[in-house]
Amino acid sequence: KNQVEQSPQSLIILEGKNCTLQCNYTVSPFSNLRWYKQDTGRGPVSLTIMTFSENTKSNGRYTATLDADTKQSSLHITASQLSDSASYICVVNQAGANNLFFGTGTRLTVIP
Amino acid sequence: DAGVIQSPRHEVTEMGQEVTLRCKPISGHDYLFWYRQTMMRGLELLIYFNNNVPIDDSGMPEDRFSAKMPNASFSTLKIQPSEPRDSAVYFCASRYQGAHMTEAFFGQGTRLTVV
């Protein structure tokens, strides 16, 4: 069964600290994986996209990793800011189809 | 472009009433998706269109849900009759033809409350 699981479900960290969010998937065949950020009351917005051949990709303070062998991805946030408070959703695209499989997200709260 | 535009932003209705959600995709995009988001289940695909044609509606919960795309710039999701368990945030997203790597852009969602 094609699934995407994220952990932790929620996370609270102090401003300035780093954190890492996890995503495990069983989607096959694999095409690509995106991390989306969803602010409260808004639609999700793409942060990064990872393809099969990519191990790591950065977007400012966000760094995503992908291990296609173990089917795991992580999103590392460096020097967190209050504006990082949001839900982070891992989305896996199945190859050859328009099927997107969504994780239920990690709710990150950054406190001063 | 203003992005994907959804209306209304919030809808409160009584059980049994008909609800219509609206979406205007980004101009030039030929894929349109309807999603439902709840705390328990996250984002779930309901239906998607390609060039105004429904391709996969297997995610539509039941016959009470229907979606149309009469033209490239407009789509509706209708619930009739509505039930309290339909309460959720409904998102519309669009993207353009081509590589599967193209990003799906989401609207701001419609928060539906059925009482």
Q: Do B43 and A102 touch (CB under 8 A)?
A: yes
The residue of chain B with its CA nearest to that of A96 is: B100
Residue pointed to by tokens 């980004």 = B26
Q: Output the six-digit token pair for A90.
A: 């891992």
Residue length of chain B:
115
Cβ distance A43 to B23 under 8 Å? no
Q: What does the mean pLDDT of chain B come to?
A: 92
Q: Give pLDDT, residue A62.
A: 96
Size of interface A-B (CB pairs under 8 A): 47
Which helix (H) or strand (E) element contains residue B66? strand B65-71
Q: Quick one: which of B77, B88, B95 has its CA closest to B23?
A: B77
Cβ distance A25 to A31 under 8 Å? no
CB-based contacts of A86: which residues, under 8 Å, 6+ apart? A37, A38, A39, A40, A108
A75 interfacial to chain B (CB closer than 8 Å): no
Q: Give pLDDT, residue B40.
A: 84
Rounded Cα gap, residues A5 and A89, in angstroms: 10
Cβ distance B109 to B37 under 8 Å? yes
A37 interfacial to chain B (CB closer than 8 Å): no
Residue pointed to by tokens 């919030």 = B10
Lowest mean pLDDT among A78-82, B66-70, B100-104: B100-104
Q: What does the mean pLDDT of chain A come to?
A: 93
Give B1's pLDDT tier (boundaries 50, 70, 90): low
Neighbours of B112 (CB within 10 A): 21
Rounded Cα gap, residues B87 and B51, in angstroms: 29
Q: Give pLDDT, residue B54.
A: 93
- Chain A environment of B91 (Cβ under 8 Å): 43-44
Shortest Cα–Cα distance, A15 to chain B (Å): 25
Which helix (H) or strand (E) element contains residue B48? strand B42-50
Rounded Cα gap, residues B14 and B25, in angstroms: 28
Q: Do B43 and A89 touch (CB under 8 A)?
A: yes
Shortest Cα–Cα distance, A87 to chain B (Å): 11
Q: Quick one: which of A64, A61, A55 has its CA closest to A78?
A: A61
Give the pLDDT confidence of A44-64 residue by residue, as tens digits: 999 999 988 889 999 999 999
Report DSSP letters for A35-53, one per residue: EEEE-TTS--EEEEEEETT
Best A46, A47, A91, A102 member to test B by mutation, with max B CBs in 10 Å, is: A102
A3 interfacial to chain B (CB closer than 8 Å): no
Neighbours of B76 (CB within 10 A): 15
What are B's interface residues with A at a Cβ cutoff of 8 A? 4, 31, 41-45, 48, 50, 55-56, 91, 93, 100-101, 103-109
Q: Is A57 exposed, middle or buried (0-12, 13-18, 19+ CB in 10 A)?
A: middle
Percent of all residues in chain A with a pLDDT value above 90, rounded to a whole number: 77
